[in-house]
Amino acid sequence: MPRIALYPGSFDPVTNGHLDVVRHAVTLCDRLIVAVAIHHGKKSLFSTEERLEMLQAVCAPIAQKVGCAFDCTTYDNLTVTAAQATGATIMIRGLRDGTDLDYEMQLAGMNEAMAPDVHTVFVPASAAVRPITATLVRQIAQMGGDFSAFVPPSVVAKLKAKFAS
């Protein structure tokens, strides 16, 4: 039975922190599905299609390098429901700090109650990417700061294009 993992998030934009989680996740499963959450009430900087395109471009080579199958998808329901719909029995969650851990433990407990067959695996962020958040990257980009150390080069270009004026 193949080990299928779902890594959910908004990925607006995909950051080096997300890639760090992907690098670890692809060693834990046979197939990794990165799932872009669609929140209809939330305004995203990048469209769903743009986020899927960025994720495919930067994550697929990481998975391919270790022989892990890779897919991107979207979902607009409960994350645990999305995991079940894709056949995932592993849910990957990245942790930057203790605040993340407290929140993620609550989610993991609720998800386990709703879907005992989906197991949450926490992936701690490497020290170099621990402070990176997509929100901070967007703010730095919007204010004209240098964010190039926090996102892949292809994402740097897309962010610059978004804020060029």
Q: Is 132 annotated as a binding residue?
A: yes
Q: Is 18 annotated as a binding residue?
A: yes
Distance CA 109, CA 86 (A): 20
Identify any residues that bridge with 121 across adjacent strands, giving them in sequence order: 92
Q: Is 39 annotated as a binding residue?
A: no
Q: Is 99 annotated as a binding residue?
A: no
Q: Is 15 annotated as a binding residue?
A: no
Q: Is 95 annotated as a binding residue?
A: yes
Alpha carbon 123 to its chain centroid, in Å, reads 12
Segment (H or E) for 82: helix 79-86
Q: Is 120 annotated as a binding residue?
A: no
Q: Is 43 annotated as a binding residue?
A: no
Q: Is 131 annotated as a binding residue?
A: yes
Q: Is 17 annotated as a binding residue?
A: no
Q: Is 96 annotated as a binding residue?
A: yes
Cis peptide before 13 (omega within 30 of 0): yes
Angle between helices 98-114 and 79-86 (to 10 degrees): 60
Q: Is 42 annotated as a binding residue?
A: yes
Q: Is 94 annotated as a binding residue?
A: yes
SS3 call for 37: strand
Q: Is 134 annotated as a binding residue?
A: yes
Q: Is 130 annotated as a binding residue?
A: yes
Q: Which of 134, 145, 136 is nearest to 54 (CA)?
A: 134
Q: Is 62 annotated as a binding residue?
A: no
Q: Is 34 annotated as a binding residue?
A: no
Residues making up the annotated binding site for substrate are 10, 42, 79, 93
Residues making up the annotated binding site are 10-11, 18, 42, 79, 93-96, 104, 129-135
Residues making up the annotated binding site for ATP are 10-11, 18, 94-96, 104, 129-135
